[in-house]
C-alpha cells in the first residue's frame, strides 16, 4: 500500500514516535524533496537538508513541529548531491550553531570544500545553479563527521546506524533505525510519488553502478524494514514490493537508452524517450504528479547517466553517448 502523505510545503506530517516529515516545497511543488526531523529527550536530529533554496521551508517545518533549528545536534545526509545536502553549510552556519553533519567519508571532503562538487554539478545544470540550489557554503572540518558503514549513534530518541549503500553514488549511506524498523533510504531506495506504485531508480552521472546498486537493494531487503522513508516521495510500507521494482525498472531504462543511442538518437530525443517511458509506467495520475516526479528525478539526468555508463562499458560507441 502506498501511504506517503504530504502537508503543505514547509509544513510537517507527524509519523509518531518523535518523527516528522517536512515537505521542502522544491520549485513550489509538493512531494519532490523531504527532510525528516527526529526528536527525543537526548537530541534533535535531521535527516537530509535539501538545497539552500528550500531552507526557509525547512526552518518553517522544524518550527511547525515545535522546535527551534538552533536545537539541532546532528544532521545526516545520505549523500552529497545538492538536492540532499546543498543546504547543510548555510543551515549549520546561520541556524544550527551546535550541529554536526554526518556523511560518508568519500563525501566529507566535498562538504568542507565544495568547489569540485559545484564544478561537476555546473556541467549538468548550466546557468541554473543559483536558481535551483542557492548558496552552497563550506562546512568547517571539525563539524563534519565521517559516517562509515556500521557506525551507530543514539540521537533523536532512537539508535541509528549508517549502512553503506552505493550504486546511485559511491558515497551513499542509508540510515537505519532497528528499534522501529524504519530506513531512511536517500536515493538508493528510489523515487516514488505518494499514492502511486511506480518506483524510479534515479540514475544521474557520474557514479552510477547497477551491480553495486543491486547489492545495496539486497542489503535493504535483508533488514526486514517495516517502512522505507524516501527523500523523494515520503514513507511507504510495501517494502518488498517496492524494492522488487528497483533493479528491473533500472534495467528497462538502460535498455531504452541503449537502443536509442545505437539508433543514432541525440540527447534531446533520448531524454524524451526516458520521460515517455516513466510517464507510461506511472499510469493515470492526478495533474502535477508526473511533473513532481520529473523534478525529483529529471529525465535528462537519467539519459546522461545511463549514456555515460553504457559508453564506459563499451555497450555503445563513445561518440554515440
Say how far apart CA 165 and CA 186 lie, in whole Å: 10
Q: Is the dihedral of CA 258, 83, 141, 153 positive or negative?
A: negative
- pTM metric for this prediction: 0.95
Say how far apart CA 139 and CA 126 lie, in whole Å: 24
Q: Is the dihedral of CA 164, 106, 205, 291 positive or negative?
A: positive
Say how far apart CA 181 and CA 220 lie, in whole Å: 11
Pull the grid cell for residue 247.
533493479
- The residue to which cell 523523494 is assigned: 232
Does an H or E element contain 36, and which?
A: strand 34-39
Question: Residue 319: what pLDDT?
Answer: 77
Question: Residue 3: what pLDDT?
Answer: 40
Say how far apart CA 299 and CA 278 lie, in whole Å: 9
Question: Residue 157: what pLDDT?
Answer: 93
What are the residues whose beta carbons fall under 8 Å from the beta carbon of 297, sequence distance 6 or more? Answer: 191, 200, 202, 232
Say how far apart CA 36 and CA 234 lie, in whole Å: 9
One digit per residue, pLDDT tens: the chain, 321 residues?
234 444 455 679 999 999 999 999 999 998 999 999 999 988 999 999 999 999 999 999 999 999 999 999 999 999 999 999 999 999 999 999 999 999 999 999 999 999 999 999 999 999 999 999 999 999 999 999 999 899 999 999 999 999 999 999 999 999 999 999 999 999 999 999 999 999 999 999 999 999 999 999 999 999 999 999 999 999 999 999 999 999 999 999 999 999 999 999 999 999 999 999 999 999 999 889 999 999 999 999 999 999 999 999 999 998 777
Say how far apart CA 316 and CA 87 lie, in whole Å: 37
- Reduced to 3 states (helix: H, G, I; strand: E, B; else coil), residue 235 is strand
What single DSSP character describes residue 320? T
Say how far apart CA 187 and CA 172 lie, in whole Å: 8
What is the DSSP pairing of strand 234-236 with strand 227-230?
Answer: antiparallel
Question: Residue 60: what pLDDT?
Answer: 94
Q: Map out the domains of the chain with their CATH numbers.
A: 12-242 (3.60.15.10)
Question: Residue 5: what pLDDT?
Answer: 40
Nearest one of 58, 55, 59, 47 to 102, comparing CA atoms: 47
What single DSSP character describes residue 198? P
Say how far apart CA 312 and CA 270 lie, in whole Å: 18
Question: Residue 10: what pLDDT?
Answer: 62
Amino acid at each position: 500500500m502506498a501511504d506517503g502523505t504530504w502537508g503543505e510545503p514547509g509544513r510537517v506530517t507527524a509519523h509518531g514516535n518523535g518523527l516528522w516529515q517536512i515537505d521542502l516545497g522544491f520549485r513550489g511543488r509538493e512531494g519532490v524533496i523531504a527532510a525528516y526531523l527526529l526528536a527525543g529527550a537526548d537530541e534533535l536530529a535531521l535527516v537530509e537538508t535539501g538545497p539552500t533554496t528550500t531552507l526557509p521551508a525547512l526552518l518553517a517545518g522544524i518550527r511547525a513541529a515545535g522546535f527551534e533549528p538552533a536545537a539541532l545536534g546532528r544532521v545526516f545526509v545520505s549523500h552529497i548531491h545538492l538536492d540532499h545536502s546543498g543546504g547543510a553549510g548555510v543551515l549549520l552556519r546561520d541556524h544550527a550553531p551546535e550541529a554536526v553533519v554526518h556523511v560518508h567519508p568519500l563525501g566529507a571532503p566535498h562538504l568542507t570544500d565544495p568547489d569540485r562538487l559545484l564544478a561537476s554539478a555546473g556541467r549538468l545544470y548550466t546557468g541554473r545553479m543559483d536558481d535551483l540550489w542557492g548558496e552552497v557554503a563550506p562546512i568547517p572540518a571539525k563539524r563534519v563527521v565521517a559516517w562509515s558503514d556500521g557506525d551507530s549513534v543514539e540521537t533523536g530518541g532512537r539508535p541509528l546506524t549508517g549502512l553503506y549503500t552505493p550504486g546511485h553514488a559511491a558515497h551513499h549511506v542509508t540510515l537505519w533505525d532497528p528499534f522501529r524498523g524504519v530506513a531512511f533510504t536517500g536515493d538508493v531506495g528510489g523515487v516514488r510519488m505518494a499514492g502511486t506504485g511506480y518506483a524510479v531508480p534515479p540514475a544521474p552521472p557520474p557514479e552510477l553502478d547497477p551491480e553495486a546498486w543491486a547489492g545495496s537493494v539486497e542489503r535493504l531487503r535483508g533488514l526486514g524494514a517495516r517502512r522505507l522513508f524516501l527523500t523523494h516521495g515520503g514513507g511507504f510500507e510495501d517494502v518488498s514490493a517496492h524494492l522488487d521494482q528497483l533493479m528491473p525498472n533500472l534495467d528497462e531504462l538502460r535498455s531504452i537508452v541503449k537502443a536509442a543511442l545505437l539508433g543514432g538518437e541525440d540527447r534531446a530525443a533520448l531524454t524524451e524517450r526516458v520521460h515517455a517511458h516513466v510517464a507510461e509506467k506511472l499510469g493515470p495520475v492526478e495533474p502535477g504528479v508526473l511533473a513532481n516526479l520529473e523534478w525529483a528525478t529529471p529525465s535528462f539526468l537519467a539519459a546522461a547517466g545511463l549514456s555515460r555508463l553504457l559508453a564506459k562499458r563499451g555497450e555503445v560507441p563513445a561518440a554515440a553517448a
